[in-house]
Structure 1
Amino acid sequence: MSTPQPPMPQTAAPDWQAAAPGSPYPTYTSPIPVVRTHLGHAISSEWTKIRSVRSTMWTLGVFVLLVVGIGLATAALVAANQAEDSLTGQNPLSFGVFGLLLGSMCIITLGVLTTASEYGTGMIRTTMTACPSRARVLTAKAIVFFAVAFTVTFASVLLVALADVAMLKGAKDPSGGDWLKGTFGISFYIALLGLLSLVVGSIIRHSAGAVTIMIGLVLAPLVIALFMFSSALEKVRQALFDYSIPNQLGAFYSNSLSDTGPTGWDPVWIALGVTAVAFAGAVALLQKRDV
């Protein structure tokens, strides 16, 4: 006959139960500190993500190369071939817009990847588990991305602006307002364009689809307007010209393609309004959808 085994000792209650209200162990204190999470924790997490993936370095690297390279090359060509007094009255900062128009595609791509790529890899499930507040997650992504996009754009644009002023002799001396709009203003606008891309990526949840939509938003209005020859469509054609992204970029340097489009800081207010509406819609969809 087998010898009877002594009863197994009772195991202690798990730590997370011991600290719960009504627990049979009210005096238990967990050695693990309990911290109430807030937006700062989500921002720290998103900052770790955006700086640790290769796509960030590649897209921002190409962006800097396009903006600085094309901006300096354009100014050098103009300076080498300009006739005497040919730049009189022109804003020398405006030659940086050529590189910005191409570079904006990189900011758009990075904005989309910041959100849509997590849905493609399934990482979004881990993100939402760690931070169940979906609005907080999207807000943290938006803050981190906007800060990165604005900083890189501003540094690149400022470098090109300083070089253009030094290289282009005979052009007008930019005023304080010209410097503010041509550096800070256009950088803020490009960062908002990238932020809109981030929101579209959250709504579409597909990287290729969201990038296609944003590139279409940037290029399609101007291309469509170029092929509208009918006089019956003149008002539509003019509106497409006025509010196309290239024309709004030119408005920061007073070089709009038309005389009736946005001027001054109008492009910033337009981008802010559109992005705010899209962001509110993305938050509403996040609350309703399954991850």
Structure 2
Amino acid sequence: MTSPATPQDRRQEPEAGLLSFYESPIPIRPATLGDAIASEWTKLRSVRSTVWTLGVMVVLMLALGVGIALLLAVNDTNLAGEPALALGFFGVLLGSLCVITLGVLTVGSEYSTGMIRTTLTACPSRARVLAAKAIVFFSLTFVVTTVTATVVAVLQTMILSGTVAASGGAWALSTVGVGLYLAGLGLLSLAIGAIVRHSAGAITIMIGVVLLPLVLALFMFAEALRGLQRFLIEYSIPNQLSALYGTTMTSSGPSAWEPLLVMLGLVAVALGGAVALLNRRDV
């Protein structure tokens, strides 16, 4: 036989229908692009891969750019008539591999850990998630690359004081132009990472995109392949980077700001394909 409920027990029992009328004191609103950007910024700055990849890129650009300038100054190499800014190309080319790696990991790491499920649960719009990743990654990479390229250019000019003074356009291309190009290359890597959904595979593809056209062109000795060889050299990423510094491997091909337009077209196609596949695939 059960004992009758005491007044204290009755107070602890929830009243019928109480939960159905509960309203959260926290305002509920749909997620916006700003919320997605804040979330992606938190994720990008809190992982060690961001610090390591961008840190290595900065070290490579500074060490190679300044180191080459010091070697030329010590050996009294005659660079009269040549701007010192072009020496920054070597550090930027190697640093681009770090940008590629970070761009792929920005998406690929979430697929490898399963974090992408949580991301898409919080923000079901896959296009918005990819746009937020692209905005945060592009902004961070552009700022870091542009500042580093500017520091390298200033130090090289100071060390090699006997070289010809570069014009304002040349300074803009070797600093802002390089920053925009590397950030665009990183966006291309991010899009490939979203398409492939495998970090190692996407990084391998992007390294092939950077190096393979130029390597293939070097082995095209047949006369019938001269046109293809010239095209691969002119539009290879190393040649487009060197064009931003005013030095190219051929007399034709993209020059001045044209490499940025080529990269912009590649990024638009890749991101469009990534959005289409994200909307069709399961997580």
What is the TM-score of this pair, normalised by structure 2? Answer: 0.94
1:120-144 CA distance string (max 9 Å, x none): 1100000000111111100000000
Q: Map 1:65-144 onto structure 2 (within 5 A).
A: 65-83=59-77, 86-144=78-136
Q: Map 1:1-291 onto structure 2 (within 5 A).
A: 2-3=1-2, 10-14=15-19, 18=21, 29-83=23-77, 86-291=78-283
1:36 is displaced (CA, Å) by 3.2
1:60-115 CA distance string (max 9 Å, x none): 111111011111001111112234xx212212111000001001000000000000
Q: Unpaired runs of 5+ in structure 2? A: none
Question: Does the aligned pair in 2 maintain the 1:79–1:169 contact within 8 Å?
Answer: no
1:9 is displaced (CA, Å) by 5.6
* Amino acid aligned to 1:278: A
Report the count of equivalent residues.
277
1:35 is displaced (CA, Å) by 2.8
| Alpha-carbon distance between aligned partners in 2 of 1:12 and 1:45, rounded to the nearest angstrom | 36
Q: Unpaired runs of 5+ in structure 1? A: 19-27
Please tell me the root mean square deviation across aligned C-alpha atoms, in Å.
Answer: 1.6
| Alpha-carbon distance between aligned partners in 2 of 1:166 and 1:267, rounded to the nearest angstrom | 28
| Alpha-carbon distance between aligned partners in 2 of 1:91 and 1:251, rounded to the nearest angstrom | 14
* Amino acid aligned to 2:60: L
Identity in percent: 55
Please identify, of 5-14 and 277-286, the stretch whose mean Cα deviation from structure 2 is larger.
5-14
**3-state SS of paired residue (2:251):** coil
1:13 is displaced (CA, Å) by 4.6
1:11 is displaced (CA, Å) by 3.5
After superposition, the Cα gap between the structure-2 partners of 1:82 and 1:30, relative to the gap in structure 1 and judged at 3 Å, is same
* Amino acid aligned to 1:289: R
Q: Which runs of 4+ in 1 moved over 6 A?
A: 4-8
* Amino acid aligned to 1:12: G
What is the TM-score of this pair, normalised by structure 1? Answer: 0.91
